[in-house]
Amino acid sequence: MTQAPLDTEPDDSGPPTCFSCPNRERTEWCVLTEAETKFLVGRKKSRRYLPGETIYRQGDPCNGIYCVESDMVGIRRNDPDGNSILLGIAYEGTILGYRSYLADEEHRCSAEALKACTLCFIDAATLRQLLQGNPDLGLQFLKRTARALGQAEDKFFQSVTLTIRTRFAHLLLVMKDRYGQEHDDGGLVMELPLSRQDLASMIGVRPESMSRLIRRFEDEGIAFFSGRRVHVPRLHILMDEIQSADLA
Protein backbone atom coordinates (compact mmCIF):
# COMPACT_ATOMS: atom_id res chain seq x y z
CA MET A 1 0.00 0.00 0.00
CA THR A 2 1.34 3.43 -0.93
CA GLN A 3 1.81 5.73 2.05
CA ALA A 4 -0.06 9.01 1.68
CA PRO A 5 2.28 12.02 1.60
CA LEU A 6 2.55 14.00 4.78
CA ASP A 7 1.20 17.51 4.95
CA THR A 8 4.41 19.16 6.15
CA GLU A 9 3.21 22.73 6.41
CA PRO A 10 4.36 23.78 9.92
CA ASP A 11 2.38 25.82 12.39
CA ASP A 12 4.59 28.81 13.20
CA SER A 13 2.09 30.40 15.58
CA GLY A 14 2.87 28.22 18.60
CA PRO A 15 5.79 27.73 20.99
CA PRO A 16 9.25 26.45 19.98
CA THR A 17 9.07 23.61 17.48
CA CYS A 18 10.13 19.99 17.87
CA PHE A 19 13.34 20.88 16.01
CA SER A 20 14.47 23.13 18.87
CA CYS A 21 13.03 21.05 21.73
CA PRO A 22 15.87 20.05 24.11
CA ASN A 23 14.08 16.79 24.89
CA ARG A 24 13.81 15.55 21.32
CA GLU A 25 16.97 13.44 21.14
CA ARG A 26 16.02 11.42 24.22
CA THR A 27 12.44 10.74 23.18
CA GLU A 28 10.79 8.49 20.61
CA TRP A 29 10.64 11.41 18.17
CA CYS A 30 14.40 11.25 17.54
CA VAL A 31 13.82 8.64 14.79
CA LEU A 32 11.55 10.91 12.72
CA THR A 33 12.76 12.26 9.41
CA GLU A 34 12.82 15.99 8.76
CA ALA A 35 9.57 15.76 6.79
CA GLU A 36 7.90 13.74 9.55
CA THR A 37 9.09 16.19 12.19
CA LYS A 38 7.66 19.10 10.21
CA PHE A 39 4.38 17.19 9.98
CA LEU A 40 4.41 16.70 13.75
CA VAL A 41 5.18 20.38 14.36
CA GLY A 42 2.19 21.38 12.25
CA ARG A 43 -0.23 19.01 14.00
CA LYS A 44 0.75 19.04 17.68
CA LYS A 45 -0.87 21.40 20.17
CA SER A 46 1.09 22.90 23.05
CA ARG A 47 -0.55 24.05 26.27
CA ARG A 48 0.55 25.44 29.62
CA TYR A 49 -1.03 23.87 32.73
CA LEU A 50 -1.21 25.40 36.19
CA PRO A 51 -0.35 23.47 39.39
CA GLY A 52 -3.21 21.14 40.30
CA GLU A 53 -4.79 21.31 36.85
CA THR A 54 -5.93 17.99 35.37
CA ILE A 55 -4.51 17.00 32.00
CA TYR A 56 -6.68 13.91 31.60
CA ARG A 57 -8.75 11.81 33.97
CA GLN A 58 -8.88 8.13 34.77
CA GLY A 59 -11.59 6.62 32.56
CA ASP A 60 -11.39 9.31 29.86
CA PRO A 61 -11.16 8.08 26.27
CA CYS A 62 -7.59 8.18 24.95
CA ASN A 63 -7.65 10.58 22.00
CA GLY A 64 -3.89 10.87 21.65
CA ILE A 65 -0.69 11.17 23.65
CA TYR A 66 1.08 13.92 25.58
CA CYS A 67 4.75 14.85 25.68
CA VAL A 68 5.97 16.69 28.79
CA GLU A 69 7.94 19.68 27.53
CA SER A 70 8.83 21.20 30.91
CA ASP A 71 8.54 20.58 34.65
CA MET A 72 6.58 17.74 36.22
CA VAL A 73 3.31 15.84 36.05
CA GLY A 74 1.83 13.49 38.65
CA ILE A 75 0.34 10.18 37.54
CA ARG A 76 -2.58 9.27 39.81
CA ARG A 77 -5.16 6.53 40.18
CA ASN A 78 -8.26 6.44 42.37
CA ASP A 79 -8.66 3.50 44.73
CA PRO A 80 -12.09 1.85 45.31
CA ASP A 81 -12.80 4.40 48.06
CA GLY A 82 -12.13 7.31 45.71
CA ASN A 83 -8.79 8.29 47.24
CA SER A 84 -6.23 9.67 44.79
CA ILE A 85 -3.00 7.65 44.88
CA LEU A 86 0.17 9.10 43.35
CA LEU A 87 1.80 6.33 41.30
CA GLY A 88 4.69 8.26 39.82
CA ILE A 89 6.10 11.51 38.49
CA ALA A 90 6.69 12.34 34.84
CA TYR A 91 9.39 14.85 33.97
CA GLU A 92 10.33 16.66 30.76
CA GLY A 93 10.70 14.32 27.80
CA THR A 94 8.23 11.76 29.15
CA ILE A 95 5.41 10.54 26.88
CA LEU A 96 2.03 10.13 28.61
CA GLY A 97 -0.96 8.08 27.45
CA TYR A 98 0.91 5.89 24.97
CA ARG A 99 -0.04 2.60 26.64
CA SER A 100 -3.74 3.45 26.57
CA TYR A 101 -3.38 4.50 22.94
CA LEU A 102 -1.56 1.32 21.91
CA ALA A 103 -4.03 -0.87 23.84
CA ASP A 104 -7.01 1.06 22.42
CA GLU A 105 -8.51 1.57 25.86
CA GLU A 106 -9.49 4.35 28.23
CA HIS A 107 -6.92 6.08 30.40
CA ARG A 108 -6.20 3.88 33.41
CA CYS A 109 -4.76 6.78 35.38
CA SER A 110 -5.13 10.53 35.68
CA ALA A 111 -2.43 13.07 34.93
CA GLU A 112 -2.15 16.26 36.99
CA ALA A 113 0.27 19.18 36.81
CA LEU A 114 2.29 19.20 40.05
CA LYS A 115 3.98 22.46 39.04
CA ALA A 116 3.27 24.88 36.21
CA CYS A 117 4.21 22.84 33.15
CA THR A 118 3.93 22.72 29.37
CA LEU A 119 2.74 19.66 27.45
CA CYS A 120 2.38 18.94 23.75
CA PHE A 121 -0.65 16.92 22.63
CA ILE A 122 -0.45 14.69 19.55
CA ASP A 123 -3.87 13.46 18.44
CA ALA A 124 -4.51 9.81 17.57
CA ALA A 125 -4.83 10.39 13.82
CA THR A 126 -1.47 12.18 13.64
CA LEU A 127 0.26 9.50 15.69
CA ARG A 128 -1.28 6.73 13.59
CA GLN A 129 -0.01 8.30 10.38
CA LEU A 130 3.49 8.67 11.81
CA LEU A 131 3.53 5.07 13.05
CA GLN A 132 2.37 3.76 9.67
CA GLY A 133 5.04 5.71 7.83
CA ASN A 134 7.96 5.02 10.19
CA PRO A 135 8.25 1.52 11.72
CA ASP A 136 11.19 2.70 13.86
CA LEU A 137 8.80 4.96 15.78
CA GLY A 138 6.67 1.96 16.75
CA LEU A 139 9.81 0.15 17.89
CA GLN A 140 10.73 3.11 20.09
CA PHE A 141 7.33 2.97 21.80
CA LEU A 142 7.72 -0.79 22.24
CA LYS A 143 11.07 -0.19 23.96
CA ARG A 144 9.49 2.42 26.24
CA THR A 145 6.74 -0.04 27.16
CA ALA A 146 9.33 -2.70 27.99
CA ARG A 147 11.30 -0.26 30.17
CA ALA A 148 8.13 0.77 32.00
CA LEU A 149 7.34 -2.89 32.69
CA GLY A 150 10.84 -3.41 34.07
CA GLN A 151 10.49 -0.37 36.33
CA ALA A 152 7.14 -1.65 37.59
CA GLU A 153 8.74 -5.01 38.41
CA ASP A 154 11.58 -3.25 40.26
CA LYS A 155 9.09 -1.20 42.27
CA PHE A 156 7.13 -4.31 43.21
CA PHE A 157 10.34 -6.06 44.22
CA GLN A 158 11.26 -3.15 46.48
CA SER A 159 7.79 -3.17 48.05
CA VAL A 160 8.12 -6.81 49.14
CA THR A 161 11.81 -6.87 50.06
CA LEU A 162 12.63 -3.43 51.52
CA THR A 163 11.35 -2.01 54.78
CA ILE A 164 9.21 1.12 54.79
CA ARG A 165 12.13 2.98 56.34
CA THR A 166 14.50 1.95 53.54
CA ARG A 167 11.96 2.80 50.82
CA PHE A 168 11.53 6.29 52.28
CA ALA A 169 15.28 6.85 52.47
CA HIS A 170 15.60 5.66 48.87
CA LEU A 171 12.87 8.09 47.74
CA LEU A 172 14.59 11.03 49.46
CA LEU A 173 17.91 10.14 47.84
CA VAL A 174 16.28 9.90 44.41
CA MET A 175 14.76 13.35 44.86
CA LYS A 176 17.94 14.99 46.12
CA ASP A 177 19.50 15.06 42.64
CA ARG A 178 16.68 17.23 41.32
CA TYR A 179 15.51 19.18 44.36
CA GLY A 180 18.40 19.07 46.83
CA GLN A 181 21.17 21.51 47.61
CA GLU A 182 24.21 19.99 49.31
CA HIS A 183 26.22 22.09 51.75
CA ASP A 184 29.94 22.06 52.49
CA ASP A 185 29.29 20.63 55.95
CA GLY A 186 27.82 17.45 54.45
CA GLY A 187 24.22 18.50 54.96
CA LEU A 188 21.38 18.66 52.46
CA VAL A 189 18.30 20.85 52.08
CA MET A 190 15.43 19.93 49.76
CA GLU A 191 12.18 21.65 48.82
CA LEU A 192 10.00 18.69 47.86
CA PRO A 193 7.25 19.11 45.24
CA LEU A 194 5.02 16.54 46.97
CA SER A 195 2.68 16.60 49.94
CA ARG A 196 3.16 14.08 52.74
CA GLN A 197 0.15 12.16 51.46
CA ASP A 198 1.81 11.86 48.05
CA LEU A 199 5.09 10.80 49.66
CA ALA A 200 3.16 8.05 51.43
CA SER A 201 1.64 6.93 48.13
CA MET A 202 5.07 6.78 46.50
CA ILE A 203 6.35 4.25 49.04
CA GLY A 204 3.07 2.38 49.44
CA VAL A 205 2.05 3.29 53.00
CA ARG A 206 -0.88 5.06 54.63
CA PRO A 207 -0.48 8.75 55.61
CA GLU A 208 -0.47 7.92 59.33
CA SER A 209 2.40 5.48 58.79
CA MET A 210 4.29 8.21 56.95
CA SER A 211 3.76 10.60 59.88
CA ARG A 212 5.20 8.05 62.30
CA LEU A 213 8.15 7.40 60.00
CA ILE A 214 8.91 11.12 59.74
CA ARG A 215 8.87 11.40 63.54
CA ARG A 216 11.32 8.50 63.81
CA PHE A 217 13.66 10.10 61.28
CA GLU A 218 13.54 13.36 63.26
CA ASP A 219 14.00 11.64 66.64
CA GLU A 220 17.09 9.85 65.29
CA GLY A 221 18.49 13.01 63.69
CA ILE A 222 18.39 11.54 60.17
CA ALA A 223 16.17 14.23 58.62
CA PHE A 224 13.97 17.09 59.77
CA PHE A 225 10.76 18.15 58.04
CA SER A 226 9.04 21.53 57.96
CA GLY A 227 6.17 21.57 55.49
CA ARG A 228 7.77 20.44 52.24
CA ARG A 229 11.27 21.47 53.26
CA VAL A 230 13.59 18.66 54.32
CA HIS A 231 16.90 19.19 56.12
CA VAL A 232 19.32 16.26 56.23
CA PRO A 233 22.18 17.23 58.60
CA ARG A 234 24.47 14.41 57.47
CA LEU A 235 23.81 12.99 54.03
CA HIS A 236 25.98 9.94 54.67
CA ILE A 237 23.66 8.86 57.50
CA LEU A 238 20.70 8.83 55.12
CA MET A 239 22.75 6.87 52.60
CA ASP A 240 23.65 4.37 55.32
CA GLU A 241 19.95 3.45 55.48
CA ILE A 242 20.18 2.12 51.91
CA GLN A 243 23.54 0.44 52.38
CA SER A 244 22.35 -1.32 55.53
CA ALA A 245 19.44 -2.79 53.58
CA ASP A 246 21.80 -4.00 50.84
CA LEU A 247 23.93 -5.82 53.42
CA ALA A 248 20.98 -7.37 55.27
3-state secondary structure of 46: strand
- Would you give per-residue pLDDT tens digits along the chain (248 residues)? 334 445 444 444 444 578 888 888 888 999 999 999 999 999 999 999 999 999 999 999 999 999 999 889 999 999 888 888 999 999 999 999 999 999 999 999 999 999 999 999 999 999 999 999 999 999 999 999 999 889 888 888 887 888 999 999 999 998 998 899 988 888 899 999 899 999 999 998 999 999 999 999 999 999 999 999 999 999 999 999 887 655 44
* Residue 82 exposed, middle or buried by CB count within 10 Å (0-12, 13-18, 19+): exposed
Secondary-structure class of domain 162-247 per CATH: mainly alpha
pTM across the whole model: 0.80
In a 3-state reduction of DSSP, which class is residue 75? Answer: strand
Q: Where are the domains of the chain?
A: 24-158, 162-247
The Cα–Cα gap between 211 and 227 comes to 12
Residue 243's φ and ψ, nearest 5 degrees, are: -65, -35
Fold agreement (24-158, 162-247): no
Cα separation, 30 vs 143, whole angstroms: 14
DSSP class of residue 248 equals -
In this structure, which topology does domain 24-158 adopt according to CATH?
Answer: Jelly Rolls (2.60.120)
* Closest residue by Cα to residue 218 from 237, 244, 205, 201: 237
Residue 92, number of CB atoms within 10 A of its CB: 19
- Integer angstrom CA distances of residue 183 from 43, 187, 219, 231, 234: 46, 5, 22, 11, 10
Please state, in angstroms and rounded to a whole number, the distance separating the CA atoms of residues 85 and 47.
25
Q: 234: which residues sit within 8 A by CB, 6+ positions away?
A: 186, 187, 221
DSSP string, 154-192: HHHHHHHHS-HHHHHHHHHHHHHHHHEEE-TTS-EEEE-
